[in-house]
A and B are shown apart, each in its own frame.
Chain A
Amino acid sequence: MKPAPFAYARPGTLAEAVALLGAEPGAARILAGGQSLMPMLNFRLAQPALLVDINRIADGAVLRQDADGLTLGPLVRHADLLRHCAAGRGHPLLAAALPLIAHSGIRNRGTVCGSLALADPAAELPACAVALDAELDLVSPRGTRRIGAEAFFRGIYETALAEDEMIAAVRFPPADPNWRWTCLEVARRQGDFAIAGLAAGFCATGAPAARLVAFGVAERPLRLAAAEAALTARGSDAAVATLADLDLLGGGDYPAAYRRQVLGTLLTRAAAALGAPA
């Protein structure tokens, strides 16, 4: 199980990295943490001509918390962010989601931006990004653009990234102290990708508001707008009832009906944990 041949470049700056991406669009892959890409290379399911290793780009590991929120460069590892959030900083949703991601050895190396760029539909961080209206800075030889997380995720392993583009940073808005957040998921074993998961926020102060984004159940993070409305208006039982209308992934060991049922369970539990009405 050895990778097919590829060329290897290790640029020192973001500009050099995207220049390499742009030189022959589609031929190169970004190697950040490599915790998903390297298995694909070892399986020979991915056979890029060029691997652009960004692990030594200048200022790649920027982790900045300020009035704009939390800004993460492309080399911020899951473990870095977990450590940051565990100290009560960052964002409570991320603090809840990060321990669910794989295991310490993977979190030590895997990057937040890499997880977003991969867009695994069962992953936690894309759902968190959608739930929190995170913004991504995409950079290419053509320049930089900013895109919201909702628009970024397109499908299974599909994003708005052009072939010559990479994520330069992701910014999570500051946590609103009136909101409470949790991330729940169903997995057979700790650290496995979710069979169904839910990033959930609820604000009971003033006019009730909710934010519910499911993962593992659809081709991309699934904003549950109807459930949000039902939750704030009529409570969690009504919110669960809205799930009946969703078209969910099935297949394999976990049919859509199963995912729908356990998503309802997660919704009920999240609502209870967040103090939303039953």
Chain B
Amino acid sequence: MTAVRPPRLIGQPAPRPEAARLASGAGAYVDDVDLPRQLHAAFLRSPHPHAAILGHDATAARALPGVAAVLFWDDLAGVVTPLQTRHAGFPGLVSPPQPPLADRRVAYQGEPVALVLAASRALAEDALEAIAIDYAPLPAAADAATALDPGAPKAHPDLPDNLCWAGEISGGDVDGAFRDAALVVAQTFRFTRHTGVTLEPRGLIAAFDRASGQLDVRISHQQPHQLQVYLADLLGLPMTRVRVIAPDVGGGFGIKMHVYADEVAVCAAARLLGRPVKFIADRLESMAADVHAREHVVDARMALDAAGRITAFDVADRHGLGAYTVFPRSSTMETVSAVRTIGAPYAMAAFRARMQAVFQNKSLIGQYRSVGHPIACTVTEALVDQAARTRGEDPLAFRARNYTPGAALPFTNPAGVRLIDLSHAACHARLEALMDRDAVRRDMADARARGRLPGLGFAAFVELTASGSEAYGAGGVAVAAMDSVTLALEPDGTVKGEASVSEIGQGIAGTLARVVADALALPADQVRIATGDTRSAPHGGGAWSSRGAAIGAEAALGAAARLRAAILAGAAALLQAQPETLDLADGAIVDASGAPRLTLAALAQAALFRGHEFPGGRLPQLAVAHQHGRAQDRAVPTNGIQAALVEIDPGTGLVACRRHWVVEDCGRILNPLLVDAQIRGGVVQGIGAALYEACRYDGEGQLLTGTLADYLLPMAAEMPDIAVAHVETPYSGSVLGAKGAGEAGTCAAAAAVLNAVNDALAPFGTAIAELPVTPVLVLDALARRQAA
């Protein structure tokens, strides 16, 4: 094979091939398809955070016109087993079984209790109102902070207490570091729950064919293969009889990477009734029953030596993860992720994190964009600013002194994070160039002139992307950390493929196609990669952990190399030449002089229609598959730094985001247009967490933010322009060198905004350590200063 040609498409900005179709209203989302004889599902959901179910009566509901069935757990128990999360990576994990419909007890508000199947959603909802449930309310465990106190209400009465899992990560001499510290900064941070709010709600159509025993599930989901594994297991079907199709997906962000009780119940009902069942969550259900994110209280302290060098972190995290540890991945992954990268940008010598994850009678916490990292980043960067402020030092200068130097890499830090291929100093320098500091100073002066309090905040970060099989597979969870790509040469010389990565709007399908096109010297539009169908794509991970470019693209590259070799071998056989003397260019096989000898179309047609022309009838293998999983490195670390400029209105406590800057290093950039799009979208989700979004519960576990009127999402008017720049430090463990980019924006945005708010408050000697920053918190902080 000849040397790899310089890439023509990789690194060039290009719109997604799907974009024009979606922008024409021609998307095909799950609710856009109706099947013959389809029934519509609606769930009766618990209004109580915690209650025993003493009885139920659905007689009236079943008698309503158009109602085909009203199902309770006892009706489904014969065809499906409860969900029960097991993950050996969390020794001692307490994980009660979670039936798809409540079994004599509800453990959170919104838990599905009964399933109505009717001729329309409206009729199904009519029937919900006609079902009588005899609830006996039980004391609810709501407050994570007191969940382990003696006598605290228990989320599950049969368990000894509310502890789901406890663990510790430590390295180095933590106690010594704090004993010898010249300065210790400490703070307790509170992170309210929020959620992902995919604009397209979760939904599926499940159809079971009794004659063949085949279950087809069309679902808005990020991991069709994972779902296929677990549906087969829960329903007792062979995987060959379970097909999961993810059509166009209207947003994922982690919300659609879990196996939900309601979705399993719909599949079980389809199997039970032998009719297609459609379930589209409405927004009320989404707010209550989609996974929520975060909810941590972190006691953190950081030690420094006399020279202002960070020496150690010591943190204790109390994580409220809801009624069950999410299936199948376990909510405790959020627990660990919230502490593991604390301090990660800095060359600390000692680290200790104690974690307690507790059950509550609240919705489940699940993996959501940048899992845990925003907590770790906020804790770290807020302490860093606190230290710099205490020392009277510029926050950037403080950071510059403390970054893990590039020369020290690879470095396994005392938290056990293996750090490689990072570029803190370069990103830092790039940020200073990107921000026009004179303009920022003018903006800040202008804000002061208007009576506002401007603040500028920074947040450096390390994010662990493209997790390897250590994360789940090693714990016995059937989650693939590898991906598969198949390719086949079509008779017209184009290439079709299937990939196990999931296209959920991020543009990975087109990116893989461009990787393949480069390798085969084809124009981008001559390669088409399909995703989202377990019947046609071999098994693989889907969309999680920012893995498409880092893992999926390597699989595509591997498949392309195989197809290239097969093409050259086939051409060599036809042309009676040596494969080594041939190459690909512009859709043709060329010889050493670059002269075209055979088009790809001619080769494909010969192989597919005139196989007898090949010596010995030996067909070239023009359909290939490649599977890529990383052997080394638990995860691929990325790094970067963000900055936020905010203004506080001291008269109202409102915080306005004025500017936001991001410099990040996701290694080799395959498509800068789409990387920037990921960064900006991620930043705004982080700003949402910083200033707006909160799933609020009262003290008894009642959800108070059940609609989009109560749950505040970022809107266009409040969001700033976001400047993005890059440093490219290729990942050393792959051919392409790409790392994850999809979550980096979310990782540090909230930290930068919080630091900006506290920069604005600093002249008043007050600070906030809670997200989201509400106007009430801001005025309270200013009042504390005035009282002091």
Contact = CB atoms under 8 A, between A and B. Distances in A.
Is B truly associated with A?
yes
B126 A4 contact: yes
Interface stretch (A133-141, A162-170, A247-255): A247-255
A188 B692 CA distance: 8
B715 A269 contact: no
Contact of B776 (A4, A5, A253): A253
Interface in A1-55: 1-5, 39, 43-44
Interface in B698-755: 704, 707, 709, 712, 715, 717-718
Contact of A190 (B653, B696, B717): B717
Interface string B166-205: 0000000000000000000000000000000000000000
B692 A1 contact: no
Interface residues of B, number: 26
The 8 nearest A-B residue pairs measured at CB: A265-B651, A1-B282, A2-B122, A190-B717, A262-B652, A186-B652, A258-B776, A2-B125
A206 B776 CA distance: 40
A1 B283 contact: yes
A253 B693 CA distance: 12
Interface of A: 1-5, 39, 43-44, 186, 188-193, 195, 252-255, 258, 261-262, 265, 268-269
A191 B284 CA distance: 21
B523 interface: no
Contacts of A262: 651-653, 775, 779
Contacts of B126: 4-5
B652 A44 contact: no
Nearest to B42: A2
16 contacts: A1-B284, A4-B125, A5-B126, A39-B709, A44-B125, A186-B652, A186-B654, A189-B692, A190-B715, A190-B718, A191-B717, A253-B696, A253-B774, A262-B775, A265-B652, A268-B651
B652 A3 contact: no
A86 to B, nearest CB: 18
Interface string B667-704: 00000000000000000000000001000100000001
B129 interface: yes
B354 interface: no
With most chain B CB atoms within 10 A of its CB, the pick from A254, A261, A268 is A261
A46 to B, nearest CB: 14
Nearest to A47: B129
Contacts of B129: 4, 44
A14 B340 CA distance: 67
Contact of B651 (A39, A195, A269): A269
A110 to B, nearest CB: 14
B770 to A, nearest CB: 13
Nearest to B708: A39
A268 B650 CA distance: 13
With most chain B CB atoms within 10 A of its CB, the pick from A1, A43, A195, A255 is A1
A3 B122 contact: yes
B496 interface: no
B104 interface: no
Given A3-B122, A189-B715, 6 more contacts: A188-B654, A190-B718, A253-B696, A254-B776, A265-B651, A269-B651
A107 to B, nearest CB: 14
Contacts of A255: 776
Contact of B121 (A2, A191, A252, A268): A2
B631 to A, nearest CB: 48
Contacts of A195: 775
A186 B704 contact: no
Interface in B267-293: 282-284
A193 B712 CA distance: 12
B712 A188 contact: yes
A261 B122 CA distance: 45
Nearest to A190: B717
A190 B717 CA distance: 7
Contact of B704 (A2, A5, A192, A252): A252
A189 B713 CA distance: 9
Interface in B568-584: none
Interface string B107-148: 000000000000011100110010000000000000000000
Contacts of A5: 126
Interface string B772-788: 00111001000000000
Contacts of B284: 1, 43
A95 to B, nearest CB: 19
Nearest to B780: A258
Contact of A258 (B283, B707, B715, B775): B775
B470 to A, nearest CB: 41
B125 A189 contact: no
A39 B282 CA distance: 13
Contacts of A2: 120-122, 125
A1 B288 CA distance: 14
A186 B704 CA distance: 21
Contacts of B718: 189-190
A190 B716 CA distance: 9
A190 to B, nearest CB: 4
B356 to A, nearest CB: 28
Interface in B633-665: 651-654
A253 B283 CA distance: 22
Contacts of A253: 696, 774, 776
A265 B717 CA distance: 22
Contacts of A189: 692, 712, 715, 717-718
B767 to A, nearest CB: 19
A3 B122 CA distance: 7
Contacts of B715: 189-191
A190 B712 CA distance: 11
A98 to B, nearest CB: 16
A261 B707 CA distance: 27
Contacts of A4: 125-126, 129
Nearest to B451: A269
A39 B707 CA distance: 10
A219 to B, nearest CB: 19
Contacts of A254: 776
Nearest to A265: B651
Contacts of A268: 651
A268 B451 CA distance: 13
With most chain A CB atoms within 10 A of its CB, the pick from B121, B125, B692, B775 is B775
Contacts of B696: 252-253
Nearest to B776: A258
With most chain B CB atoms within 10 A of its CB, the pick from A186, A189, A269 is A189
Contacts of B653: 258, 262
A269 B650 CA distance: 12
A3 B718 CA distance: 33
Contacts of B707: 43
A32 to B, nearest CB: 20
A43 B129 CA distance: 12
Interface string B568-609: 000000000000000000000000000000000000000000
A4 B127 CA distance: 10
B206 to A, nearest CB: 21
Nearest to A43: B284
A116 B284 CA distance: 27
Contacts of B704: 252
A251 B709 CA distance: 16
B603 to A, nearest CB: 55
Contacts of A193: 709
A258 B779 contact: yes
A1 B45 CA distance: 13
A268 B709 CA distance: 29
A157 to B, nearest CB: 15
A36 B112 CA distance: 28
B12 to A, nearest CB: 37
A271 to B, nearest CB: 13
With most chain A CB atoms within 10 A of its CB, the pick from B120, B652, B654, B717 is B652
A154 to B, nearest CB: 23
A264 to B, nearest CB: 8
A252 B712 CA distance: 14
